[in-house]
Amino acid sequence: MSRVVTNAGSSAIARSHRGDAVKQESQTLKFPSVEYLIAGTLPFSTAEEFIEDLTSVWCEVLRLSECVLIWRNTFSRTAQFAHRNGQQEYQRSSIACHSPIEDLLKNIQNDFPAGRDLQWITLLVDDAPIGLVGFDKDIATEIPPGWVSTSARLLATALTWDWNLTEMKLSALGEYAAGAGHEINNPLAAIKGRAAQLLKEEEDLQRRQLLETIGAQTYRIRDMIGDSMLFAHPPALQRCDLKLTELVESVVHQYAEEFRDRKISFYGNRKPNIMISGDETQLCVVLSELLKNSLHAVTDQGRIEIDCYEKETRTGNWAILRIADNGSGLTELEREHCFDPFFSGRQAGRGLGFGLSKCWRIVTGHRGTISLGNSHNEMTEFVISLPIETGGN
């Protein structure tokens, strides 16, 4: 794959020259050439930057009041869409989706009803659909095939670049965690041992509390290193047949005392006998992390909901698990990066370390999806979709 990233200085110069070329070309061509499109989207450093530029160019060329790009993020296994209006206001969102690309539109329109009033073009690479572009129905201009195919190939290049970049990050994380685990755990063990020895001999209450804090923080550092290693190189799944609702209730039972003491309301509709095939230990980790995330976010007398139900699609039957709470919400930036282990801007009270990232890693390892749903009635919800399988398949 060719490298398309440049440094900030050369990017600014290239974009300045590009603007002059675009302005001159738009005066002589009835419909811009493929070079216009390439100049308007390259260079890029991330797929997000490319998609912003691509929707901007489509809006500019066709003088659109609306432009929507839909594609599937193959790494997170979510459907994503980017929307730009004539005022160049831009927004992005993602939803869990198991449908083929050509069926994504139906799912997206539930979250973006305005999409029903747009006309759509399928982006193909080697006859395989990779995305959809939607724009105003009253635009009668015929889009040249070369313009559409170039948009598709550029999108494929940007998504492949992001995939490779994420894989390299994970590989580097695994190597770092393995080395750091050995180098850090040894002195941590010495600190923990010495603190425990001093604690036995200490009678002063305040000093005892300080020593207990030291011991607890050494365990926290150890767990963070362990989480990073598990995230980079998760263990092989030990599959067995599981009833999803029973699994959920077993995890919730572990937090019954906190629910009772803090008077947190617990609701939900959980269909019994939904059978899945999965690693019981790993899925319990996912449920526990999401439940802890909600418990940290809600205030006393807050509300948490957990639903379990089935959903049938063209690609098979899916078990859906929804966990929602009325605690502190998330900003748009935090929503977009909440599963990203390399993002450091998480909000206090919404999970620390690799909690949500670990959930994503385990769920995708089960060929499922996890997404942060749109907020309804001031509820923040996470939705997990797992294929309904039995027999250890």
**Cα–Cα distance measured from residue 52 to residue 84, given in angstroms and rounded to the nearest whole number:** 8
- In order along its 393 residues, the chain shows pLDDT tens digits of 333 333 334 334 344 444 444 444 433 336 788 999 999 999 998 888 999 999 999 998 888 888 989 887 765 556 788 888 878 788 887 765 656 666 667 666 666 677 778 899 999 998 888 889 999 888 877 889 999 999 999 999 999 998 888 778 777 777 777 777 778 888 888 999 999 999 998 989 999 999 999 999 998 888 877 777 777 778 899 999 999 999 999 999 999 999 999 999 999 999 998 999 999 999 999 999 999 999 998 999 999 999 999 988 777 889 999 999 998 877 767 776 777 776 655 554 444 457 888 888 899 889 888 888 755 567 888 999 999 876 545
d(CA 42, CA 39): 6
pLDDT of residue 97: 61
Residues 265, 311: Cα–Cα separation, whole Å:
27
pLDDT of residue 9: 40
Q: What pLDDT shows up at residue 350?
A: 45
Is residue 295 a contact partner of residue 378, using CB atoms and an 8 Å limit?
no
Contact by Cβ (8 Å): 323, 381: yes
- Would you state the pLDDT for residue 184? 83
Q: Which of 348, 188, 198, 364 is nearest to 286 (CA)?
A: 364
Tell me the C-alpha distance between 384 and 393, whole Å.
19
Q: What is the pLDDT of residue 5?
A: 32
pLDDT number for residue 28: 35
Query: What is the reported pTM?
Result: 0.64
DSSP string, 206-225: HHHHHHHHHHHHHHHHHHHH
Residue whose tokens read 């502190």? 328
